[in-house]
Amino acid sequence: MAHSKQALKRARQSERNRVANKARLTKLKTAMKSLMALVATGDKAKATAMVASICKTIDKAAQTHVIHKNTAARRKSLVQRSVAKMASAK
């Protein structure tokens, strides 16, 4: 356990940040899974409507350093390609 006041404060801050980061990452993963489920079922209208909100969630996670910016770009690309492929297939 930390002994100094500074170390105790850093421990509190780290725990608070860990919880916030975990919540943001969980929200991102849930959104990605729900979109991929829509793509798998072929619901083009709902999937297309969801793309903007998922991209916003991905950008926010990258902006707050929960994920790396290149990971964010890769995930956004995956989302766009999945929906585009579904749109062109039908």
Please give the structure tokens belonging to residue 57: 């969630």
3-state helix, strand, coil in the chain (%, to 5): 85, 0, 15
- Given a cut of 80, whether residue 87 has pLDDT beyond it is no
Q: What is the pLDDT of residue 90?
A: 57
| Distance between CA atoms of residues 57 and 32, nearest Å | 10
The CATH class that applies to domain 26-89 reads mainly alpha
Residue bearing the bigger pLDDT, 10 or 86: 10
Burial class (CB in 10 A: 0-12, 13-18, 19+), 7: exposed
Residue-wise pLDDT for 15-46, tens only, equals 999 999 999 999 999 999 999 999 999 989 99
Domain chopping of the chain, boundaries? 26-89
Mean pLDDT of the chain: 94
Give the CB-side neighbour count of residue 1, counting CA atoms within 13 A. 2
